[in-house]
Amino acid sequence: MPRRAFSTTMQADMLKALKLYAVKHDRPLNEVLEEAAATYLAQKAAEDPDAEFFSHRGDEPLEDCLAAIERRLAAIKKRRA
């Protein structure tokens, strides 16, 4: 999958800890962040099987996913009622 640049903000002490971890383990920061994101997504997929389904559709245009997203939201709303 092609790589894309993005920017975000986070607490300064967390960013510093991530940078120090990356340096200490001789790894690029983006590699550390990607690993953390992959671990997070795997955890969420284990909690909610639909989360994994939608994460695999990330390269599709949003319009193609809207019906599936709306069905998922309706099911969640129904369970909460």
In this structure, the dihedral spanned by the alpha carbons of residues 66, 67, 72 and 75, taken in order and rounded to 10 degrees, is 140
Q: Which residue ranges make up each domain of the chain?
A: 10-47, 49-81
pLDDT of 52 reads: 63
Residue 80 has pLDDT above 90, yes or no: no
Which pairs with CB-CB distance under 8 Å and at least 24 residues apart come from 22-25? none
Instruction: Produce one character per residue of 18-49: b if its CB has 16 or more CB atoms within 10 Å, e if not.
Output: eeeebeeeeeeeeebeeeeeeeeeeeebeeee
Q: How far apart are CA 66 and CA 60, in angstroms?
A: 11
pLDDT of 31 reads: 95
Mean pLDDT (whole number) for 11-21: 97
pLDDT of 50 reads: 67
Give per-residue pLDDT as tens, 21-71: 999 999 999 999 999 998 988 888 788 766 666 666 666 776 777 777 788
pLDDT of 67 reads: 78
Distance, first Cα to last Cα, the chain: 40
pLDDT of 47 reads: 81
pLDDT of 35 reads: 95
